[in-house]
Amino acid sequence: MVGTFLNVVTVLIGAALGVALGNRLPARMRETVLTGLGLSTVGYAVLNIVDAMADQQNAPFKFIVILLSILIGGVVGEWMDIDGALHRFGAALERRFAKSEDAERTARFIRGYVAASLVFCVGPMTILGSIQDGLRGDYSLLAIKSTLDGFAALAFAASLGVGVGFSVITIVVVQGGIALLAGQLQGWLTPPMLAVLSATGALLIIGIGLTLLDLKQIRLANYLPALAIGPAIVAALGAFGLPGFT
């Protein structure tokens, strides 16, 4: 759990610096920073997809699995209204801690919380780093992630405000939960399953980039079930001995 707490500290520091800096930036500059974040987020996600699928056998079939997991996960997520629940939780945090009467500031708080929570918690480094930390106490990968997240939190908070800092709640729940379940996850996740999981998470990160660029407002949290559905499909296909899925 050391890596998770380190991640919390770096995000809080980055968010605090970003909020302090953001108040001094003109609106146009904050907009430029946000656009840069969107572009960087898309680029990071593309690199993750390429890295995840680079050495995979039957990669085209794995992309079909990813497509299926996104479609099925989206339907399940819409039924569960995960995105709505995350937004309601963000709104509850805003009412409890920020207490703004300004609707625009409230929306900005929620947007910052939701976007930062997804960016910091759906990438492959979250899964792998938390498993390593939980199994062996090796938090080196999470230390690298923490450094990157700290700078990202600074940039996010400069444009989206204090809501970014509250994403540490999601980090504790997700990364801490994975670390506690590390033994079971390592025994269950095979390399093909992990590749599909990483690529699916990276696709969701692309969605975050599109949202930050104001190209498309996507209920991204509703696709989170895809992160479990993709590996489950790979496991099912592997049970039938399909090459590249075992």
pLDDT in tens, 199-218: 898 888 888 888 878 888 88
Asked whether the predicted pLDDT for residue 76 surpasses 70, the reply is: yes
pLDDT averaged over every residue in the chain: 86
State if pTM tops 0.85.
no
pLDDT at 101 over 80: no
d(CA 226, CA 66): 8
Describe the chain by its helix, strand, coil percentages, rounded to 5.
85, 0, 15
- Residue 66, pLDDT > 90, answer yes
Q: How confident is the model at residue 220 (pLDDT cuts 50, 70, 90)?
A: confident
Distance of alpha carbon 137 from alpha carbon 131, whole angstroms: 9
Structure tokens at 14: 């980055």
Quick check: 102 pLDDT over 80?
no
Residue with tokens 């407002």: 217
Backbone phi, psi, residue 153, to 5°: -60, -40
pLDDT score of 148: 83
Section 140-146 average pLDDT: 85
Q: What would the mean pLDDT of 18-47 be, rounded to a whole number?
A: 82
d(C-alpha 8, C-alpha 14), whole Å = 10
In the chain, pLDDT over 90 holds for what percent of residues?
Answer: 25
Q: What is the pLDDT of residues 149-191, one digit of tens each?
A: 888 898 889 888 899 999 999 999 999 888 888 777 777 888 8
Residue 53 makes CB contacts below 8 A (sequence gap 6+) with: 59, 62, 63, 195, 199
* Domains in the chain: boundaries: 2-239
CA distance 117 to 126: 12
Give me the amino acid identity at 38: G
Nearest to 122 by CA among 70, 80, 163, 158: 70
Quote the CA–CA distance of 163 and 117 in Å, as a whole number. Answer: 10
Task: Quote the pLDDT of residue 65.
Answer: 93
